[in-house]
Structure 1
Amino acid sequence: MTAITREFLLRKPFNDFRNYPYGFSRSGDFSIRESDALTQYGCLITALLQDELKPSCDEDISLLASARGEQAPVTVVEKAWAKYQARIHRPKVASMYGKGKLSDEDFGYSTDSEDDLIVED
């Protein structure tokens, strides 16, 4: 098996088909520069975060520290990765009409058995 190098990861395009099935540039969430930065550096950042590749230069150390939240993002790549992480980890909306499940208390009904009307046939 070949060793993963930094140059190989920079040539390999990064895609997230689960969250962005049509690509970063067509999503409307990212600018052209941000989508290009994610596509080019996404595999490298992922490999650094998963310890598949050790940081070999100052840029890698800065990318890793920013991705872990140890420092504020400074470069376009770091800001794009932080924005990407914020977008994929945002809370999902259950329904456009409100909560997912409604109970009787939401409508003002009591759940006490004393107030229930029992009809026997």
Structure 2
Amino acid sequence: MTETQFRHGKKRFYDAVKFPRGFAKSGDFTLIEEDILVTYGETMLALERGDITPENAEEKHFTKVIVNPSKAKSKLEHTWLKYVRLARGRRAFHTLNSKSKFHEAAKDYDYDMENDDVLEPA
């Protein structure tokens, strides 16, 4: 990873609620993104909450990115935005057994066995 002025967290960052098996094992993050989150995640979370103040230009830019995500430039910023989207956003839920308009359309075709001459023995 390239050199950064961003402070390392005092401890490793994990989200046991949304990613109980780890960031990389969730399938949503690459190994590099996992390393970024584990190393800098505590600092990024504290900056986002306002618990600490930015000490350098990179951290000041990060606080601006939190307000306006379209200004994200660095891999750290993009990774944090991805984490926030996945951890705090709604997860897509797809059911396989719901009633749908296709299921209702199938009721239009009734089959009458009395008029079926094909399967009668000769």
Please classify the TM superposition score into its range, dividing by the shorter chain length. Answer: 0.5 to 0.7
Q: After superposition, what is the alpha-carbon deviation per residue over 1:47-74, rounded to whole angstroms, capped at 9, x for unaligned?
A: 1111110111111111111123255211
Q: Percent of counterpart pairs with the same letter? A: 27
Flag the 1:91–1:28 CA change in 2: closer, same or farther, 3 A: closer
- Map of 1:5-44 to 2, 5 A cutoff? 10-44=9-43
Structure 2 alignment gaps of length 5 or more: 1-5, 105-122
Residues 45 and 67 in structure 1, CA contact (< 8 A), matched pair in contact too: no
- Normalising by structure 2, we get a TM-score of 0.66
Equivalent residue for 2:59?
A: 60
- Map of 1:1-121 to 2, 5 A cutoff? 10-69=9-68, 71-88=70-87, 89-93=89-93, 95-98=95-98
Give the root-mean-square deviation of aligned CA atoms.
2.6
Q: Over alpha carbons, which structure has the higher Rg?
A: 2
Structure 1 alignment gaps of length 5 or more: 1-5, 100-106, 108-121
Structure 1: how far apart are the matches of 2:21 and 2:66? Answer: 24
- Normalising by structure 1, we get a TM-score of 0.66
Flag the 1:96–1:86 CA change in 2: closer, same or farther, 3 A: farther
Q: Which structure has more helix as a fraction of its residues?
A: 2
